[in-house]
Amino acid sequence: MGRSCACAMLALLLASAAARGEAVRPPGLRELELALVIARAGYDCPVVESVEVLTNPMPGWESLRPEVALCKNGRRFLIAQSGRSGGNIRPVVRPLPAARE
Give the CA distances from residue 95 to residues 63, 80, 86, in Å, rounded to whole numbers and listed in that order: 20, 12, 26
User: pLDDT band at residue 13, thresholds of 50, 70 and 90?
Assistant: low
Can you list the positions of beta strands (E) in the chain?
48-53, 66-71, 76-80, 92-96
Residue 34 has pLDDT above 90, yes or no: yes
What residue segments make up the domains of the chain, in order of their start? 27-96
What is the reported pLDDT for 56? Answer: 72
pLDDT tens digits for 57-79?
677 766 777 899 999 999 999 99
